[in-house]
Amino acid sequence: MTNNLLNNRYQIQQTLARGGFGETFLATDTYMPSRRKCVIKQLKPIVQYPVIPQWLQERFQREATILEELGEEHSQIPRLYAYFSESANFYLVQEWIEGQTLTQKRQQQGNLSSDQVKGILLNLLPVLAFIHDRKIIHRDLKPDNIILRYSDGLPVLIDFGAMKEAVATVMDHYGNTTLSVISGTPGYMASEQAAGRPVYSSDLYGLGLTAIYLLTGKTPQELETDPATGEILWREANDIHSNLASVIDRSIRFHPRDRFSSATAMLQALSLNEVSILEPTVAISPGSPQTVVKPTPATRPTRPTRPVTVPILDPTKLEERPRNTKPGCFIPALLLMGLVLGSFFFGFQAFIPKFPERREPTPTLSPETEPSPPKPRPTPTRTPTPKPTPIPTPTPEPTPTPEPTPTPEPTPEPTPEPIEPLPSPEPTIEPIEPLPLPEPTPEPEPLPSPEPTPEPTIEPEPEISPPTQNQSQYFSPKVPIFPVGTFKSSLFNSLGKPTYIKKGLWGDSQAIRYQNLISNQVDLGYLIDNQTGKIRQTEVAFNTSVSLKTMNHTLNQLLVGNATPSVKQGLEQVYRGQKNKYSFSVGSIKGTIERQKSERIYIGIWDANFH
């Protein structure tokens, strides 16, 4: 058939596929100066008529008209160039999509990563939402019917089952048309579709099983089912993103009511999933004590082990501790010092028992220093009282017993150095955990970081600005992904009304911005082509508190899983401040990564022909 012309115009180059409904050919259009390539689908009626009935011709024409409209309105559906009938067969002439089917990609590459699969779904679900809005069901979603286009990496939906059903229709004796053959592929076809009653979620079912094939390499026939529920058991793939797996699980439910109600709902679940903020007290700034008061179990382990040492002890306690340990030391000294010093000592010992009662009422914990002490009593008065030690404490020297320093009650300040066990200023610096701070003199206090006793809310560790901290302290949002080529309608369906819409800087475009989309951490921007309604440029601006892993993940998805190691390295260099700007090109896409003056990381991706 290679040398023949179909419809006296199309020269067949090769046969691409054969099936029960006919054959598919690669051909050239001899009427076009460029002799452009095209795909010709032959559709054989299920019943061979000597002459094609009028009703069947009308049905075929009606379906072809719908297919033409879909191809003209959406770039991820092949255009219909022409249709005709010849030798009792129908023919569709469609746009030739240069690329590889998902089956070919998986056979060539092996199992795809969860990021790659998620990127494909994010780019394909808007196409399904588009056709479903027009009351069209694809009916034959499977890896063979999705082509990844070489020019932009976007998935293209081919081989609509409605055309097959059009030629698989016969007329009964009463003049009613009945469907003789159900279009679809066993395994990828939902139960209601196999019964001849497809619904919109039937397409989502086939898409979910396609995703499973890409992740695991297993066709539906190779997957086990739960005998009790009939649900498919597929979770054998490694490193499956939990949200992706949950979305797939729901899309392949046996009963349609348990699946997503629409492609848009599935897209939203996939792109706008939970915003997981890993907040180990990181977001707390020194001016917001009320937000600090709630140390959740997740935040507590991040702090080093602030022991149960009462963080802020009352000055009276500082005297009690040495005094409770002194009786044994003073006895020999009292024997040597005579009756006068002895009588003073006994009088002082009689005074000691009254202090323990004052331990409980005086723990005035400052409200700011509560983050992780196990029993924070947030009585809001800080009452630092750094210079308590006023009580007579005539002989407060714990170890240096040899120094009598008689002067009975004149508050012997000359020998305060022995009070080193718990100098009054440092307990007010509650963040330091160890009780035994060996400071030589009462003033230096090495560990407590220059005695900032007057400062409330001393929380040094929650600094999040430097990018050298542990990644677990970073904000990790799930950023909605809309690569170049996505239709504006999909954008609005998922994100809603933008912050503003303005005239775009380049070409006939409009600029759309979603500001502070995720907890004041992420801004999204898009330049939309007014002629095609498609995104020509995608922009994301991250706060530096967002983790590098999240930025890397977002960049890779914007490039439809094609981020090269050099591009990822460029992002890391900008993120760590080693570069202020990095530009790159991947296929027909250009991009730039910049550190803005506002210390936000900006990523811009655009069509190379846009500007």
Which of the listed CATH numbers 3.30.200.20, 3.65.10.10, 3.40.50.1820, 3.30.420.40 matches domain 5-95? 3.30.200.20
Reported confidence tier of residue 560, pLDDT bands at 50, 70, 90: confident
DSSP string, 456-519: SS---TT---STTS-GGGSEE-------TT-BHHHHHHHH-S-SEEEE-SSSSEEEEEETTTTT
Which of the listed CATH numbers 3.40.50.2000, 1.10.510.10, 1.20.1280.50, 1.10.150.110 matches domain 101-160+182-271? 1.10.510.10
Between 11 and 329, the higher pLDDT residue: 11
Distance CA 476, CA 276 (A): 6
Using the predicted structure, report yes or no on whether residue 572 has a pLDDT greater than 80: yes
Closest by Cα among 231, 181, 174 to 208: 231
Reported as a single tens digit per residue, the pLDDT across 271-312 is 865 433 333 333 333 333 333 333 333 333 333 333 333 333
Reported confidence tier of residue 470, pLDDT bands at 50, 70, 90: very low
The pair phi, psi for residue 193, each rounded to 5°, is: -70, -40
Q: Are 508 and 516 in contact (CB under 8 A)?
A: no
Reported as a single tens digit per residue, the pLDDT across 319-378 is 334 444 444 444 455 555 655 455 444 454 444 444 444 444 434 333 333 444 444 444
Reported confidence tier of residue 231, pLDDT bands at 50, 70, 90: confident
Can you give the pLDDT at residue 40? 94
Q: What is the mean pLDDT of residues 249-264?
A: 95
Reported as a single tens digit per residue, the pLDDT across 413-437 is 444 444 444 444 444 444 444 444 4
Q: What is the mean pLDDT of residues 203-207?
A: 97
Domain ranges of the chain: 5-95, 101-160+182-271, 319-461, 477-607
Reported confidence tier of residue 241, pLDDT bands at 50, 70, 90: low
Q: Within a 13 Å sphere around the CA of 550, how many CA atoms are in the beta-carbon half?
A: 26
Distance CA 606, CA 515 (A): 20
Reported as a single tens digit per residue, the pLDDT across 485-541 is 888 877 777 788 888 898 888 788 999 988 877 667 888 999 999 888 889 999 999
Q: Categorise residue 343: left if φ over 0, alpha if ψ from -120 to 50, beta otherwise.
A: alpha
Using the predicted structure, report yes or no on whether residue 459 has a pLDDT greater than 70: no
- Lowest mean pLDDT, pick from 229-238, 438-447, 584-593: 438-447
Which of 140, 159, 314, 529 is labelled catalytic?
Answer: 140
Give 401: exposed, middle or buried? Use CB within 10 Å, 0-12, 13-18, 19+.
middle
Can you give the pLDDT at residue 292? 34
Distance CA 569, CA 587 (A): 18
Distance CA 11, CA 8 (A): 8
Distance CA 327, CA 345 (A): 9
Active-site residue 140, yes or no? Answer: yes
Which residues, other chains included, contact 610 with Cβ-Cβ below 8 Å and sequence gap of 6+? 506, 507, 527, 536, 537
Between 337 and 203, the higher pLDDT residue: 203
Distance CA 159, CA 77 (A): 10
The token pair that represents 253 in the structure block: 């439910």
Mean pLDDT of the chain: 72
Reported confidence tier of residue 316, pLDDT bands at 50, 70, 90: very low
